[in-house]
Amino acid sequence: MADEQGGALSQSEIDALIAALRQEEAGPAAPAPAEPETEAMAPAPPEPAAASGPVAGEPPAGTGAPPAPVRELDPKLARIADLDVTLSVLLGHRVFTLRELLGWGIGTRITLEEGWREPVYLAVNGRLVGRGRVVLVGNRFGVRVERWGT
């Protein structure tokens, strides 16, 4: 698996691990045939640069914001709790024809359907998991989570 080589796991590898955990809950079963590891797997994404500032889930110093609630981790999830996942913040969408898209170039302005005050979508590894509002944290963008697990 990719985590044994120091890289991030793909969504299919994460899904397989979660399925294996669920199968263990259901009881013993015949072992699944091992998948051969191949060199043809997608390369791991580059390591993100170390970010300065507040840690995810913690309020910035001096904001008076309450800390994020801490939940006890299910022991069955402990084996995969340290896997890297990617959070994407989706600002909005708009449908265009291919003809319009082909006319784009540097400097093209794309107006989205959503207004700037509307919530943004939060996706983990491409799957929608919540909504939030864009906020400023110092001189960086941040997101205040408003709905989670949806």
Q: How many structural domains compose the chain?
A: 2
Q: Does some domain include residue 20?
A: yes
For residue 88, the surrounding DSSP H or E stretch is strand 87-90
Q: Does some domain include residue 76?
A: no
| Ranges of H-type helices in the chain | 11-26, 98-102
Same domain membership, residue 62 and residue 113: no
Q: Does some domain include residue 79?
A: no
Q: Does some domain include residue 80?
A: no
Same domain membership, residue 148 and residue 96: yes
Same domain membership, residue 25 and residue 60: yes
Torsion of CA 120, 126, 130, 132, to 10 degrees: -30
Please give the chain's pLDDT, 150 residues, in tens.
Answer: 544 445 566 777 777 777 666 666 555 544 443 433 333 333 333 333 333 444 455 555 545 556 666 677 788 888 898 999 999 999 998 999 999 999 999 999 999 998 888 999 999 999 999 999 999 999 999 999 999 986
Give residue 13's pLDDT.
Answer: 72
Question: Phi, psi at residue 146, to the nearest 5°?
Answer: -110, -35
Give the whole-angstrom CA distance, residue 75 versus residue 82: 13
Q: Does some domain include residue 130?
A: yes
CATH code, domain carrying 149: 2.30.330.10
Same domain membership, residue 13 and residue 48: yes
Q: For residue 47, what are the domain limits?
A: 1-68
Same domain membership, residue 100 and residue 63: no
Give the whole-angstrom CA distance, residue 114 versus residue 121: 11
The reply to whether the predicted model has a pTM over 0.75 is no
Give the whole-angstrom CA distance, residue 101 versus residue 109: 12
Residue entry with tokens 């995810």: 56
Give residue 69's pLDDT.
Answer: 65
